[in-house]
Amino acid sequence: MRRALPIVAFVLLCLAVGWVSGLTTEAALVGWYRPLAKPSWTPPDAAFPIAWTFLYILMGIAAGLV
């Protein structure tokens, strides 16, 4: 339990930072990213929040273990 507390705290911190950064960059998606001519192999927009959430969780675990 003693080791889990810092890990949970860092995971929550990383997720909060990701959420705030998502809020601040949301306007840019509409403004310039969506109209770009992208290659056919570009992942769908729904893949990005899933991937970034997973990455932020892993970053929080790593920071908590350090």
| Tens digits of residue pLDDT in 12-23 | 999 999 999 989
pLDDT confidence of 3, banded at 50, 70, 90? confident
Q: How many Å apart are CA 26 and CA 58, to the nearest integer?
A: 23
pTM of the prediction? 0.81
Whether the per-residue pLDDT at 42 is higher than 90: the answer is: yes
Q: Which residue has the tokens 């990005």?
A: 48
Pairwise pLDDT comparison (20 vs 45), residue with the higher score: 20
47, with CB counted inside 10 A (0-12, 13-18, 19+), is exposed
Per-residue exposure over 6-26, b if at least 16 CB sit within 10 Å of its own CB, e if not? eeeebbeebbeebeeeeeeee
